[in-house]
Amino acid sequence: MPRAHGFITDAIGSPIPNAELYFYRVEAHSEILHSVLIDKTGRPVSGPPAYARRAVAEHREDLTIITAGTVPDPARKGYFDVPGGLPAGSYWVDVHLDGQQRWAWPLTVTTTEQDPARIRVGGPGAGIPGGNPGGDPSRHFLAGTFTPAVSYYAMLSAPLERIQRDLARFRGAGLLNARVWIDWDYFGVTGARAFDRKGDFVESVAAKLDAVLAWLPSQGMSLDLTMHAAGYDATPKGKEGYDITEHKRALRNLLTRWGRHPSVRIVDVANEAEARGQGGHGSPDTGHVSPGRFNELMTVARSVPHTCLVGCSISPGGDYEDVVKNYQAIFRDTKGEILLPHVKRKAGWGKACGQLTRDLQKAFPGMVVHHQEPARNGHDTTPPGGWPLSEFQDSFQSSQQTGSVGCCFHGDFGFDLRQKDAFDQMDGTEQSVIRDLKSWIA
């Protein structure tokens, strides 16, 4: 069989030594998204499935999954040479290093002798900020990087096939990241919570997220995971008014399981943390997180090694209509690692994203800004007929032009994914966003 050799590199081109490699031959025309490791007899072996976009391993005895390894020799660090070679074709490489699994591609094997290939984890031009997430969190958000994202709320309520189909289509439109709720329990949607109200895993749902995260590198996509203070039990007690042991338990569990996952980019510990309930009270059951409680949550976050960035989202309301003032208030005792602002939903909100970026950069020098939740159609603040397409265009362009690291396509779709793809729930304006996005941010 033809020789198959080359170098496995990380997202910035540095060779990776001491990795175990498994090779998958792929069919470029295939619509199948699910592949499994096979042993030397062609039978599936135990372990989690691996996923690849429009690609599938051929389960044939003449395509044994052969294990190779990259060498530590400084002169040839990251080099591999598959024993016995591989059949001609294109391959994905499953890279195992320090207990983590990543995809690298493409490897093309031909019948003629060829120079060693350089195969990049995350693939060529994966589009995730800094290449493939993981390692130094600052590499998620290199200077000048801008990531278009999409809100995919109740993703975990959908079957895996729908999730993959939706995300593949959003990725095709140029959306490189999806914002997902980890404790969604709104609008009567069930089965979307990865944690119960005590902060313990709902394992069947958490395992679905595991599968999505394993598949995402094949898309060059990442996830942002959002939590909601109202999603957990809280007991009136203490200086700040409430014991949030359950919320902290969920955060610790989340970061322990996914905080260093190469497909997780941001964790929002409390959506719209400033929100107060009727009469202005600050109970967690309204989503409110006081400065003291935010400090407690960040203390938990800093006690768990993570490569994602951790913060909280803030909107106009609560104590101040000014998002900057709300952030200054909640950061009284400690700061988050990223700013996740929501703009006021009134005419001009698209360009307001740019001005808010400037205001936050001035108030918090050196902190990165990602516009997590601009306005959307279908909300009770949406004018008759919906927001014009220009507002959505302005939100992406003003965010990019003022140095935000990203902006989210926030739409009235994806609330209920049990029967229909989010991609097929978009209204006419939202479909136009998908059509035009790449030209806006070229």
Choose the final residue of a domain: 121, 153, 187: 121
Q: Which of 79-88, 358-367, 431-440 has the lowest mean pLDDT?
A: 79-88
If asked whether residues 384 and 344 sit together in one domain, one would say yes
Residue 128 domain flag: no
* Nearest of 308, 305, 336, 16 to residue 133 by alpha carbon: 308
Choose the final residue of a domain: 71, 92, 121: 121
DSSP secondary structure, 15-52, as one string: B--S-EEEEEE--TT----EE--B-TTS-B-SS--EE-
DSSP secondary structure, 197-266, as one string: TTS-B-HHHHHHHHHHHHHGGGGT-EEEEE--GGGS--EE-STTSEE-HHHHHHHHHHHHHHTT-TTEEE
Residue 131 domain flag: no
If asked whether residues 209 and 288 sit together in one domain, one would say yes
**pLDDT value of position 94:** 79
CA 344 from centre of chain: 24
If asked whether residues 303 and 254 sit together in one domain, one would say yes
**pLDDT value of position 140:** 60
Residue 221 domain flag: yes
If asked whether residues 405 and 324 sit together in one domain, one would say yes
Mean pLDDT estimate for the chain:
83
If asked whether residues 59 and 86 sit together in one domain, one would say yes
Question: What is the number of residues in the chain?
Answer: 442
Q: What is the mean pLDDT of residues 367-372?
A: 94
If asked whether residues 49 and 93 sit together in one domain, one would say yes
- Residue 233 pLDDT greater than 70, yes or no: yes
Phi, psi of 191 (to 5 degrees): 75, 20
Residue 365 domain flag: yes
Q: Which of 17-26, 45-54, 336-345 has the lowest mean pLDDT?
A: 45-54
* Nearest of 254, 233, 253 to residue 244 by alpha carbon: 233
If asked whether residues 99 and 246 sit together in one domain, one would say no
Residue 303 domain flag: yes
If asked whether residues 154 and 106 sit together in one domain, one would say no
**pLDDT value of position 47:** 36
**pLDDT value of position 93:** 82
**pLDDT value of position 303:** 92
> What's the pLDDT tens digit per position in 115-164?
898 887 765 543 333 334 333 444 567 667 889 999 999 999 999 999 99
**pLDDT value of position 333:** 94
If asked whether residues 257 and 367 sit together in one domain, one would say yes
Q: Counting beta carbons within 10 angstroms of the beta carbon of residue 36, is it exposed (0 to 12), middle (13 to 18) or buried (19 or more)?
A: middle
Tokens of 246: 């359950």
**pLDDT value of position 415:** 87
Choose the final residue of a domain: 121, 151, 177: 121
What is the C-alpha to C-alpha distance for residues 68 and 218, in angstroms, rounded to an integer? 21
What is the C-alpha to C-alpha distance for residues 85 and 66, in angstroms, rounded to an integer? 9
Choose from 39-53, 55-69, 381-395 the range with maximum mean pLDDT. Answer: 381-395
Residue 86 domain flag: yes
**pLDDT value of position 145:** 82
- Show the DSSP H helices in 284-416 as ranges: 291-303, 323-330, 349-363, 389-401
- The domain containing residue 167 runs over which residues? 137-440
Residue 241 domain flag: yes
**pLDDT grade for 23, boundaries at 50, 70 and 90:** confident
If asked whether residues 28 and 153 sit together in one domain, one would say no
pTM beyond 0.85: the answer is: no
pLDDT, greater one: 362 or 215: 362
Tokens of 359: 């205001």
Phi, psi of 49 (to 5 degrees): -70, 155
Angle between helix 349-363 and 323-330 (nearest 10): 40
- Residue 60 pLDDT greater than 60, yes or no: no
pLDDT, greater one: 240 or 24: 24
- Residue 54 pLDDT greater than 70, yes or no: no
**pLDDT grade for 100, boundaries at 50, 70 and 90:** low
> Count of domains in the chain?
2
Q: Which of 100-114, 246-260, 374-388 has the lowest mean pLDDT?
A: 100-114
Residue 168 domain flag: yes
Q: What is the CATH number of the domain that holds 142?
A: 3.20.20.80
If asked whether residues 276 and 143 sit together in one domain, one would say yes
If asked whether residues 289 and 358 sit together in one domain, one would say yes
- Residue 300 pLDDT greater than 50, yes or no: yes
Angle CA 128–129–134, to nearest 5: 80
